[in-house]
Structure 1
Amino acid sequence: MYVTLLALHSLVRWLVLASLLFAIGCAYRGWLANKQFSRFDNSVRHWTATVAHIQLLVGGALYVISPIVNHFLHNFKEAVHQRDLRFFGMEHITMMLLAVIMITIGSAKAKRKPTDREKYKTLAIWFTAGLLIILLSIPWAFSPFTSRPYLRPF
């Protein structure tokens, strides 16, 4: 179960990043070009937030069964001083939860804005903030702090 969730979490990460980049591109284009907020734009807003929520659910399930997190929680005093353990036991989940909250707030606020320009602007700002937090919190293969492969096999 753990290996499957880990591989799924690794795969869905790319869907989150792709959907966020696409949604942010649409939002900035619509905002700067003063375009009409279409049904397609609304679908992009909705599905981007949905993919982020799915990733959060998979990550939450992974957090509960992870042997790394289990070790971190049961040996907190020592583990908090070990970069890998602290990253996955505390930093990663906190930052990703914050990013999904930003995406959710942006999606909800944009849906309620009265003008198309405000909808695009709201999405652009909130989704960009969420993306930046995500990019800082992914254990990239090139990271000097904590690294993991770009894609895990099932």
Structure 2
Amino acid sequence: MYETIQSLHSYWAFLVLFILIIATVNAIYKSATGKEYKATDFRLSLFTLIVSHIQLLMGLLLYFVSPRLQLFGEIGMGAIMKDPVSRLYLVEHPLVNIIAIALITIGYSKHKKKLTSSAKLKKIAIFYTLGLVLLLSRIPWSTWLS
């Protein structure tokens, strides 16, 4: 079960990054050029929100069925924090990615309350970019791409 969830989580991450990059670049471009916010922009930002939340749910499930989780009881938090690999998988990756998804959610929620195109696109651009940067910063690249 663990390997299946891990594989789904890894492959779904490609979709999340792809859609998030498209939504972010779209919002930045339209915001910078003064283009109008359209229904396709709403759908793109909503789809990004949905796929990122699915990724979060898979990640949380993966976290709690992970054999690494037993390290908390076996070696303790101090030893986990001293080991870069354990710290990445048990602390940094989950925490930072939860924050990233929260920022994406906040950006989506805030953009809906704005009345003008520029304000809507600006909120999406800011919060989705912050979420993207955080996601990219905590991906375990060495294991993910191998």
Conserved in 2, the CA contact under 8 Å of 1:6 and 1:62? yes
1:149 aligns to 2:134 (yes or no): no
Q: Paired residue for 1:6?
A: 6
Q: Paired residue for 1:80?
A: 81
One-letter code of the match for 2:133? Answer: L
Deviations 1:31-54 (A, max 9, x none): 112111111100001010111100
Relative distance call for 1:72 and 1:88 in structure 2 (3 A) is farther
Q: Paired residue for 1:145?
A: none
Task: Give the share of equivalent positions with the same residue, in percent.
Answer: 34
Pairs within 5 Å for 1:47-126:
47-76=47-76, 77-126=78-127
Indicate the larger mover: 3-12 or 28-37.
28-37
Question: What is the alpha-carbon root mean square deviation over aligned residues?
Answer: 1.2
Structure 2 Cα separation of the partners of residues 30 and 87 of structure 1: 35
Structure 1 Cα separation of the partners of residues 144 and 17 of structure 2: 16
Q: Which runs of 5+ in 1 are unaligned?
A: 142-147
The Cα shift of 1:74 comes to: 4.0
Secondary structure of 1:68's counterpart equals helix
Deviations 1:36-77 (A, max 9, x none): 111110000101011110000000000000011222354223
The Cα shift of 1:27 comes to: 0.2
Indicate the larger mover: 127-136 or 65-74.
65-74
Q: Which runs of 5+ in 2 are unaligned?
A: none
One-letter code of the match for 2:107? Answer: G
The Cα shift of 1:150 comes to: 1.8
Deviations 1:112-140 (A, max 9, x none): 11100001111001100000001100001
More helix by share: 2
Structure 1 outlier segments of 4+, above 3 Å: none
Structure 2 Cα separation of the partners of residues 45 and 10 of structure 1: 22
